[in-house]
Chains A and B, each alone.
Chain A
Amino acid sequence: MTLTETNKRLYERARALCPTLTEDDVVALWEYNLDLETNDNTRDGFVIVDGHTCTVYEEGKETHAVSLSDVQEFRFFAGVGCVFVEYTRKNGESRLISRADCHHKNKLASAVKAVNGFMRYDEHAFHKHAPQELVCPRCGRAYRAGSQTCLSCFSKRKMIKRLWGVASPYKWYIFASILVFVLTSAVSLIAPQISQNLTDNYILNENPESVLLTGFLLVLGQILLMQLLQRAFSSIQKYFLLIAGNKVVHNLRNIVFEKIQRLSISRISKRTAGELMNRVSSDTGRIRMFVVNEMARLLEQVMLFIAVGTVLFLYDYRLALLIILPMPLIFVAFSLFRRMMGQLFRRSWERSSQSNTVLHDIFSGIRVVKSYGMEHREAKRFESFAAAEKDTQLKIETKWAYINPILHFLMGFGEFFLLFYAGNAILGGTMTLGEMAKFSTYSTMIYAPLQFLAGFPRQFMMAMTSVTKVFEIIDEPEDIADAKDAVDLKVEGSIELENVSFGYDEAVDVLRHINLQIKPGEFIGLVGKSGTGKSTLINLIMRMYDVDEGTLKIDGVDIRNISQQSLRSQIGVVLQETFLFNGSIFQNIAYAKPDASREDVIRAAKIAGAHSFIVKLTDGYDTWVGEKGCTLSGGEKQRIAIARALLHNPKILILDEATASLDTETEKQIQDSLAALSHERTTIAIAHRLSTLRNATRLVVLDRGKIAEIGTHEELIEKQGIYYNLVMAQREMSKMA
């Protein structure tokens, strides 16, 4: 296996310090940059762990070494703004060996994991534990959270090509709109020509008698026709572009949404719900705006610029040069102006967003505000944020008021040159007034694209950023994809965990070396303090994540070889936080089995203890719930969720604090109903209230990510260990209550 770039560099450094080291000896290498004792100095620290020894070097000199045979464990831990590595000897003594800023966090965590893995399993993991790089190797800039695409280095050409890939099915609409652009530009050019004809031959004609009324009317008709054609072409352009833009974005939106649905929870949870919504709606929306508005205008303006420029040069190159002369100055002025205003607009946006947040905060907590009589203070708080927003807005308006006239003055410069040149020419008799009017119109036409083109790079980059972000999601690897030979398994309910370890990130293993066999029909109670890995264990059984080490089997088949659809359709789950979709109670219960009959739903609701309260609602099972629906209590929502889980008669039922929000009487009623059906399915339940688990066949006590105790309630009470202490503590509590 070849080394990653980072590991290769570390290995070369290690070889310089220890020339006898070979690649096969290396267990882990890491650098650190802060002094171990004080903040006064930065350090050039380097640690080499080979198969026998951990050696620490500072400034190129060995400062400490320890034999691995003396070490119990290496530990990585976070300070604030820095991280540490220590080891603990078998005699319990600890020693700090590295301290670094957070930039080194992943590298240190990964290295420590590799060393511990080696000490436990004799596994050389230098190749495997390559930490995920958080910066772009090309420009050194940081990746966005959860991303591996650098927004500074992405290839714009590649992105446009990929966007074209999505747009190409609608290319005929795009080509049609380009054709109409050409026609629009042609009409725009002819219009001033007709105006000139009108001015010179009819309005300023020295012999009005010679003017034919029909000719005059014909010219007016031409002007009218041009106006009509311009409007008509413009509408047709918009029509084609709107169709193309909307179809492209509709297509893109569906691709992104489907992809997000396929991503694993671990990948999704690296991003916030807001960010994912932005990808699906805002970013694709921005792409649509770009395709429909900016691209169209770009084509239009560039064509107009070239066409008008050509006509001007063909007619009189000196005049054309005079008009073009101030252009670079105007272009630069526009660019600078946009940049400055862009920063101010962003600041204003932030200010407004802050005021909105404060408002939202106050209104959401209005009961608290009123009960503490804090209306006046909150009003003052809002006032200060509103004042900041006002100041920024005022600054923008003031700057705008100063700069806008200057820009317009600059734009009028070309016309000033034109008037000077054309005035002389008219006086000299080489130009007519109509021709001057024509040039004046052309000069106005040539300046308009400049204003647009100065702002275009920004619009282009914004759209490209959105395109990149969207494709970043589309390209994201599916880490929990179905194996090629994944089977549809008819689950019986046996679960087997062999030496399973798992952590959500590099630094911390949440579960360590779990071995557990669960027989079909067993009711397993998971017990332990918060943060000991109970929910993580059920996440693994549902295959929301894949195990880092070991294997997890369902009915003797590795979970990675079972199709996810088949697995999840046979697992029912009720979590502590329930979620009801906008819809009727019936639809919510039938969520996991849309073809369920009314009888099935009512039966499930009865087992879950939900039927009794549902029938008391005016609209019964048709009652609308969810965000904008009927307000149900926590316990009622929970019972609907339990009914949902039971409806498809799952072979494995997972209850994660499912009955915690219910009163003890209702809980007992549901527990009894579940117990009556438990022989049909394997049940795994997590509960802090230990009485919830009284029907459990076995209890598994987790402590610090490991199985600490396992057995029946009686066995564990007799053992007088962690479970015993928990039971006693709860008894004390209930006595006090």
Chain B
Amino acid sequence: MAPRMMGGPGGPRGMGGPGGPGEGKRKGSRENPNAPAISAENATFSMKNGFLYMQCPKDAEPVRVNLHRNFPFTFLWEYISVLDMSNYELATIRDVALFDEEMKALLVRELERKYYSPAISRILSVKDRFGFSYWDVETSGGRLTFTLQDTFKSIVRAGENKLFFFDVDGNRFVIEDVDTLDRKSRKRIEIYL
């Protein structure tokens, strides 16, 4: 089957991260075509009070930043924008692997923290009622229940076997590879694929 268009409901539109109230709407109003591509060579990151700070160049003052995936469905650790608090692009990261292990772990942790999407490992039950579907699943974040409105449109293919779920509250869940699910789970989701 041809993959459905990516970018389903509850997509990243307007979700600016720690930019403060209303910041999301203004995002993109100022372009920075000269945002430097950074690596371990010219930048370093640190955490303070639960926030990420960047120093670029390394001897500069730390600036509070927010990481933003340019391709949140397909490239999780590549093509990352480093934005300031007004969502102005300060720098770009081509690949987090360009940083040393410690820094890379910090960046990965920050991205995972901002993009919260528990991975579904088993589908225990799906009930369809009045255009809603109620899902009981086992995930990397424990057993969860969630609700999808307009189920077919709330499940988005992000590759051959990768699926994203967008629930009514704006939560996201992911199945990395449908083929790795057990037979019962696959049977339960098959109807929606």
> Which of A's residues lie within 8 Å of B, judged by CB?
34, 36-39, 42, 75-82, 84, 86, 93-97, 99, 101-103, 105, 134, 141-142, 144-145, 151-152, 343, 347, 350, 354, 381, 384-385, 388, 461, 465, 507-510, 529-531, 704-705
Q: In the complex, are the beta carbons of B116 and A82 less than 8 A apart?
A: yes
Question: Is B33 close to A, CB under 8 A?
Answer: no
What string of 1s and 0s marks CB contacts (under 8 Å) between B1-44 and chain A? 11010000000100111111111111001000000000000000
Q: In the complex, are the beta carbons of B21 and A38 less than 8 A apart?
A: no
When distances are taken between beta carbons in the complex, the residues of chain A under 8 Å from B15 are: 78-80
Q: In the complex, are the beta carbons of B169 and A705 less than 8 A apart?
A: no
Pick from B64, B115, B116 the residue with the most CB of A within 10 Å: B116
Q: In whole angstroms, what is the CA distance A644 to B113 when docked?
A: 52
When distances are taken between beta carbons in the complex, the residues of chain B under 8 Å from A86 are: 18, 50-51
| CB nearest neighbor in A for B134 | A141
**Closest CB-CB distance, B49 to chain A, in whole Å?**
4
Q: In whole angstroms, what is the CA distance A81 to B168 when docked?
A: 11
Pick from B18, B25, B172 the residue with the most CB of A within 10 Å: B18
Q: In the complex, are the beta carbons of A101 and B171 less than 8 A apart?
A: yes
| CB nearest neighbor in B for A103 | B169
**Closest CB-CB distance, A109 to chain B, in whole Å?**
9
Q: In whole angstroms, what is the CA distance A510 to B21 when docked?
A: 9
Question: Is B72 close to A, CB under 8 A?
Answer: yes
Pick from B23, B64, B168 the residue with the most CB of A within 10 Å: B168
**Closest CB-CB distance, A119 to chain B, in whole Å?**
15
Q: In the complex, are the beta carbons of B29 and A142 less than 8 A apart?
A: no
Cross-interface CB contact of A347 among B18, B47, B169, B191, cutoff 8 Å = B191
Q: In the complex, are the beta carbons of B115 and A80 less than 8 A apart?
A: yes
Q: In the complex, are the beta carbons of A105 and B170 less than 8 A apart?
A: yes
What string of 1s and 0s marks CB contacts (under 8 Å) between B45-71 and chain A? 001011100000000000010000000
Q: In the complex, are the beta carbons of A42 and B142 less than 8 A apart?
A: yes
Q: In whole angstroms, what is the CA distance A461 to B128 when docked?
A: 13
Q: In whole angstroms, what is the CA distance A96 to B117 when docked?
A: 20
Known: A77-B16, A95-B49. 19 other contacts (CB 8 A): A36-B50, A38-B112, A75-B20, A75-B21, A78-B17, A79-B18, A79-B116, A81-B117, A84-B18, A86-B18, A95-B50, A96-B50, A99-B113, A134-B168, A141-B147, A142-B132, A142-B167, A152-B130, A510-B22
**Closest CB-CB distance, A386 to chain B, in whole Å?**
10
Given A38-B109, A39-B116, A95-B49, are A385 and B2 neighbors across the interface (CB < 8 Å)?
Answer: yes
Question: Is B152 close to A, CB under 8 A?
Answer: yes
When distances are taken between beta carbons in the complex, the residues of chain B under 8 Å from A82 are: 113-114, 116, 171
Question: Is B149 close to A, CB under 8 A?
Answer: yes
When distances are taken between beta carbons in the complex, the residues of chain A under 8 Å from B132 are: 141-142, 144, 151
Q: Is the interface of A mostly helix, strand, loop or mixed?
A: mixed
When distances are taken between beta carbons in the complex, the residues of chain B under 8 Å from A350 are: 152
What string of 1s and 0s marks CB contacts (under 8 Å) between B83-117 and chain A? 00000000000000000000000000100111111
Cross-interface CB contact of A37 among B24, B50, B117, B141, cutoff 8 Å = B50
When distances are taken between beta carbons in the complex, the residues of chain A under 8 Å from B18 are: 77, 79, 84, 86
What string of 1s and 0s marks CB contacts (under 8 Å) between B113-127 and chain A? 111110000000000
When distances are taken between beta carbons in the complex, the residues of chain A under 8 Å from B141 are: 39, 42
Q: In whole angstroms, what is the CA distance A134 to B168 when docked?
A: 9
When distances are taken between beta carbons in the complex, the residues of chain A under 8 Å from B20 are: 75, 77
**Closest CB-CB distance, A629 to chain B, in whole Å?**
33
When distances are taken between beta carbons in the complex, the residues of chain A under 8 Å from B26 are: 529-531
| CB nearest neighbor in A for B9 | A145
Q: Can you report 30 A-B residue pairs in the complex whose CB atoms are below 8 A from each other?
A: A37-B109, A39-B113, A39-B116, A77-B17, A77-B18, A77-B21, A78-B24, A79-B15, A79-B17, A79-B18, A79-B114, A80-B15, A80-B17, A80-B117, A80-B172, A81-B115, A81-B117, A81-B170, A81-B171, A82-B171, A86-B50, A102-B170, A105-B169, A141-B147, A142-B167, A152-B129, A343-B128, A529-B29, A530-B29, A531-B26
| CB nearest neighbor in B for A35 | B113
Q: In the complex, are the beta carbons of B130 and A465 less than 8 A apart?
A: yes
When distances are taken between beta carbons in the complex, the residues of chain A under 8 Å from B12 are: 80
What string of 1s and 0s marks CB contacts (under 8 Å) between B163-193 and chain A? 0000111111000000000000000000110
Q: In whole angstroms, what is the CA distance A350 to B191 when docked?
A: 11
Q: Is the interface of B mostly helix, strand, loop or mixed?
A: loop
Q: In whole angstroms, what is the CA distance A290 to B141 when docked?
A: 45
Given A78-B15, A80-B114, A96-B50, are A142 and B172 neighbors across the interface (CB < 8 Å)?
Answer: no
When distances are taken between beta carbons in the complex, the residues of chain A under 8 Å from B17 are: 77-80
Q: In the complex, are the beta carbons of A79 and B115 less than 8 A apart?
A: yes
When distances are taken between beta carbons in the complex, the residues of chain A under 8 Å from B112 are: 38-39
Q: In the complex, are the beta carbons of A343 and B191 less than 8 A apart?
A: yes
Q: In the complex, are the beta carbons of A144 and B149 less than 8 A apart?
A: yes
Q: In whole angstroms, what is the CA distance A102 to B72 when docked?
A: 18
| CB nearest neighbor in A for B64 | A94
| CB nearest neighbor in A for B173 | A81
Q: In the complex, are the beta carbons of B115 and A94 less than 8 A apart?
A: no
Q: In the complex, are the beta carbons of A142 and B169 less than 8 A apart?
A: yes
Q: In the complex, are the beta carbons of B1 and A388 less than 8 A apart?
A: yes
Given A39-B116, A101-B116, are A94 and B25 neighbors across the interface (CB < 8 Å)?
Answer: no
Q: In the complex, are the beta carbons of A704 and B1 less than 8 A apart?
A: no
**Closest CB-CB distance, B118 to chain A, in whole Å?**
8
**Closest CB-CB distance, B133 to chain A, in whole Å?**
11
Q: In whole angstroms, what is the CA distance A76 to B113 when docked?
A: 16
**Closest CB-CB distance, B9 to chain A, in whole Å?**
10
Cross-interface CB contact of A101 among B24, B128, B147, B169, cutoff 8 Å = B169
When distances are taken between beta carbons in the complex, the residues of chain A under 8 Å from B4 are: 354
When distances are taken between beta carbons in the complex, the residues of chain A under 8 Å from B149 are: 142, 144-145
Q: In whole angstroms, what is the CA distance A80 to B72 when docked?
A: 10
When distances are taken between beta carbons in the complex, the residues of chain A under 8 Å from B147 are: 141-142
When distances are taken between beta carbons in the complex, the residues of chain A under 8 Å from B2 are: 381, 384-385, 388
Smallest CB-CB A-B distances: 8 pairs: A96-B50, A384-B2, A102-B170, A82-B116, A81-B172, A81-B116, A142-B147, A95-B49
Q: In the complex, are the beta carbons of B168 and A145 less than 8 A apart?
A: yes
Q: In whole angstroms, what is the CA distance A343 to B188 when docked?
A: 12
**Closest CB-CB distance, A151 to chain B, in whole Å?**
4
Cross-interface CB contact of A102 among B16, B29, B47, B169, cutoff 8 Å = B169
Q: In whole angstroms, what is the CA distance A497 to B68 when docked?
A: 39
Q: In the complex, are the beta carbons of A94 and B109 less than 8 A apart?
A: no
Q: In the complex, are the beta carbons of B134 and A103 less than 8 A apart?
A: no
Q: In the complex, are the beta carbons of B49 and A103 less than 8 A apart?
A: no
Pick from A80, A105, A151 the residue with the most CB of B within 10 Å: A80
When distances are taken between beta carbons in the complex, the residues of chain A under 8 Å from B130 are: 151-152, 461, 465
Cross-interface CB contact of B21 among A102, A145, A151, A507, cutoff 8 Å = A507
When distances are taken between beta carbons in the complex, the residues of chain A under 8 Å from B192 are: 347
Q: In whole angstroms, what is the CA distance A80 to B66 when docked?
A: 12
| CB nearest neighbor in A for B193 | A347
Q: In whole angstroms, what is the CA distance A82 to B141 when docked?
A: 13
Q: In the complex, are the beta carbons of A142 and B72 less than 8 A apart?
A: no
Given A42-B141, A78-B15, are A531 and B169 neighbors across the interface (CB < 8 Å)?
Answer: no
Q: In the complex, are the beta carbons of B49 and A93 less than 8 A apart?
A: yes
**Closest CB-CB distance, B128 to chain A, in whole Å?**
8
**Closest CB-CB distance, A76 to chain B, in whole Å?**
7
Q: In whole angstroms, what is the CA distance A704 to B142 when docked?
A: 40
